[in-house]
């Protein structure tokens, strides 16, 4: 388990996720995206690569401590654009 997110995490995610963000698809560039925890650390998850995803800064900020599914539900509730469900959805 990694104790912090490293440059290697970022590069691995950027390549493995084919530069797609968890919510809206195509990322503009590595420098305008962030790394998000699909299930937040505050909900008991870790910095493991399987729990990380590329996210646009705004999406990451509004997601805050929610899981990806909770974030989608929140966007629907407040009337924001709901993206097609992506392959990033985690099965538990």
Look at the alpha carbons of 81, 70, 58, 83 in this order and tell me if their dihedral is positive or negative: negative
Tell me if the pTM is above 0.75: no
Cβ neighbours around 1 below 10 Å, total: 5
Q: Which residues contact 43 (CB under 8 A, 6 or more apart)?
A: 65, 67
Domain ranges of the chain: 7-77
Structure tokens at 62: 């509004």
84 near 70, Cβ under 8 Å?
no
Q: Which residue has the higher pLDDT, 81 or 91?
A: 81
Give pLDDT tens digits for 25-79: 777 666 667 888 888 989 988 888 888 888 888 888 888 899 888 988 898 899 8
CATH of domain 7-77: 1.10.30
């Amino acid at each position: 388990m990694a104790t912090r997110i490293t440059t290697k995490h970022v590069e691995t995610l950027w390549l493995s996720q084919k530069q797609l963000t968890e919510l809206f698809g195509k990322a503009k560039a590595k420098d305008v995206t962030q790394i998000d925890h699909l299930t937040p650390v505050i909900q008991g998850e870790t910095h493991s690569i399987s729990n990380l995803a590329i996210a646009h800064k705004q999406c990451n900020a509004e997601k805050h401590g929610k899981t990806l599914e909770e974030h989608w539900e929140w966007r629907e509730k407040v009337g924001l654009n709901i993206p097609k469900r992506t392959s990033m959805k985690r099965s538990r």
